[in-house]
Amino acid sequence: MAPQVLILNGPNLNLLGQRQPEIYGAETLADVETACAALAASLGLGTDCRQSNHEGELVTWIQDARATAAAIIINPGAYSHTSVAILDALNAYDGLVLEVHISNIHQREAFRHHSYVSRRAEGVIAGFGTEGYLLALRRAASLLAP
């Protein structure tokens, strides 16, 4: 079976394409997930795309991924900057972790400059728009290749 990649999006990312296109672009989350599934298939990967506004639900999905996913691509949204719980869950996960931010968090307010998740992530992409998810998938395919 193709290696599975869990693509996780955190709070408010369900609003993609509906508000603040100058920061987050015009694509909806459904557009992003469809593009990820298509690229993943061409790379020999499977995807499971999920979004939650709830920290505990994200933690549970990361725990579940221990048994199901070879990699996690995560945009934790604002939880990047606050959540030790998500960091702890990722630290209990043995697979590849790649972190994506649509905007360049280093160009924005100071409170966005630090991400707890970055302590665990093998790589971080920020400021490449929604294309960042596709770049992360390509990197996952390279690193997971036998």
Q: Which of 54, 79, 93, 101 is catalytic?
A: 101
Annotation says 113 is catalytic: no
Asked if residue 102 binds ligand CA2 (CB under 6 A), the reply is yes
Can you tell me which of 65, 101, 121, 125 binds ligand CA2, judged by CB under 6 A? 101
Residues facing 126 on adjacent strands: 101
- d(CA 68, CA 11) in angstroms, rounded, equals 23
To ligand CA2, the closest distance from the beta carbon of 26 in angstroms equals: 10
- d(CA 132, CA 102) in angstroms, rounded, equals 7
Annotation says 24 is catalytic: yes
Binding site for ligand CA2 (CB under 6 A): 12-13, 15-16, 18-20, 24, 75, 77-78, 80, 101-103, 105, 112
Mark the binding-site residues for substrate, compressed into ranges: 75, 81, 88, 102-103, 112
